[in-house]
A and B are shown apart, each in its own frame.
Chain A
Amino acid sequence: MSAPERSVAATVGALDVERLRRDFPALAQEVRGRPLVYLDNAATAHKPRAVLEAVQHYYAREYSNVHRGVHWLSERATEAYEGAREKVRAFLNAPDRREIVFVRGTTEAINLVAASWGGANLRPGDEVLVTEMEHHSNIVPWQLVCERTGAVLRVAPIDDDGNLLVEEFERLCGERTRIVAVTQLSNALGTINPVRRLVEIAHAHGALALVDGAQAAPHMPVDVQALGCDFYAFSGHKLYGPTGIGVLWARRELLEAMPPYQGGGEMIRQVTFEGSTWAPPPAKFEAGTPHIVGAIGLGAAIDYVRGVGLEAIARHERELLAYADEALAEVPGLRLIGRARERAGLVSFVFDDIHPHDVGTILDHEGVAVRAGHHCAMPVMQRYGVPATARASFALYNTREDIDALVAALHRVRSMFGR
């Protein structure tokens, strides 16, 4: 399976969504006696057959541990695992395959950077700058390392529409700022951040920049060289790949200098009881048997999305978002949370007098799966003074009919509540 470079978008212009939907067996099922309308893609996306088959095939035919055996199967497994690393490299346009570290997901990637880079480099009084719209996984690892090192966490505010206040960000980025950690696309608000600009600001102050790409990677082309960042993290499961696999990309010099995150097999050069030396990256950060088949499944997912074309996916989802904005404006009493100038992938909303959990339960009964909750972004909920929101989030396989079903179900919510 070589990475297909062709883009359907270039030839067709629009996605053939009906055809693509047939690639996803999970979409064909009924829930509660109704066809599934899956609008919880920001939580996790369904898997195309290509991914399911890759996972099945590797377990059934080419499975073995990697980097360990001299036998045929182990060589095949190693080749496939390292092949997946190359696919990730190409997907991110990273300069070097050795900069791709396989981890459990975005959460582990950020924890790795915070613990390893942060633990080695942060001093009392140093500052870590995040934004008010971060996911808990881009807040809590920094709090932990700040507690350990005496560094201080600073938070750049957002406005009422969910735009990051870039001037405030710039003002907060100062002499003591050692790293900024920002999401490229907010999972709670749908805001797209001007990451390139934020990275420039960080670098101008001598700070490093980590980008949380958990939401961005499935929805827009990503080029870490164009972004100019130092670390990039994303999760396989939101990109139509398996759970339990994700990626940390980091510039090679940084990985070379950073201490190991976990110790064990694979990450060493030599071990004696007097002391050990480390393997070069990425092995240094991949202690133990990795999620081999997860990585291979992620490689298949990347082939799939690149085959469809990220530009085409982004365009399709932009149309869905515009359609949803218009349709939701017609639902009385509904208020969008997050109306930033640049948005993608999702709509987050509340009713003033109906709790999101009630909305979620009633929608579920109509076969419409959305997320109701704080979306692991409690500070965002506090910022807007709501306990939770309902969120509909899109994938390449969603259609206008899905949004029509959402809106019809929302009308049902209102009529049930007699409002």
Chain B
Amino acid sequence: MSDLRDLYQEVIFDHNRNPRNFGRLEGATHRAEGFNPLCGDQLTLYLKVGEDGRIEDVAFEGKGCAISTASASLLTESVRGRTLEEAERLFRGFHAMIMDEPAGEPVELGKLEVLAGVKEFPARVKCATLAWHTLHAAIEGQEQVSTE
């Protein structure tokens, strides 16, 4: 049986209570809005990509459940300083972990692994991936994305 504590780890509560990089980002080069119509969650993700192609700054705002808020907060911490290609690779690795599928390539997920428990909770997969789908949309230049 899946254990609730595998899903709701202390780190997740911490990021939910004090989301990192929360708020608007002035001078963003990329921006997208993500919706999860099922639960009404909505977030906006901002990226500021430097001349060297690296993510100099990143922020998000919006409201969601503990899983989606913590996931967005963790995302901002883990993509900062990376190239867009590296960020997309992280998304693929994160997605594979959540869906419990083999990753096509080795990816160091680092602290994103605290969300591994989500794979036992199919109803919550979309909460955990909303921010990442939004990141992907921002990189692709789409303005809006919905998880349905």
Contact = CB atoms under 8 A, between A and B. Distances in A.
A381 B40 CA distance: 9
Interface residues of B, number: 19
B13 A387 contact: no
B83 to A, nearest CB: 33
B39 A372 contact: yes
Nearest to B62: A387
Contacts of B7: 361
B1 A358 contact: no
Contacts of B63: 355, 387
Interface in A403-419: 416-418
B98 to A, nearest CB: 15
Contact of B41 (A361, A362, A387, A417): A387
B8 A416 contact: yes
B40 A417 contact: no
A275 interface: no
Contacts of B42: 387
Interface in B1-15: 1, 4, 7-8, 13
A373 B121 CA distance: 16
**Dominant secondary structure of chain B at its interface with chain A:** mixed
B13 A358 contact: no
A387 B65 CA distance: 10
Contacts of A373: 38-40
Please tell me the size bucket of the interface on A. 20 to 34
Interface string A343-384: 000000000001111100110010000001110001001000
Interface in B45-67: 63-67
A32 interface: yes
Contacts of B38: 373
- B4, B38, B40, B127 pick with most chain A CB within 10 angstroms: B40
A386 B39 CA distance: 10
B39 A365 contact: no
Given A32-B1, A33-B1, A365-B4, A356 B39 contact: yes
Interface string A10-37: 0000000000000000000000110000
Interface in A78-133: none
Interface in B87-127: 121, 123-124, 127
Contact of A387 (B1, B40, B66, B124): B40
A418 B13 contact: yes
B13 A357 contact: no
A388 B67 CA distance: 15
Contact of A361 (B13, B40, B123): B123
Contacts of B4: 361-362, 365, 416
Contacts of A372: 39
Interface of A: 32-33, 354-358, 361-362, 365, 372-374, 378, 381, 386-388, 416-418
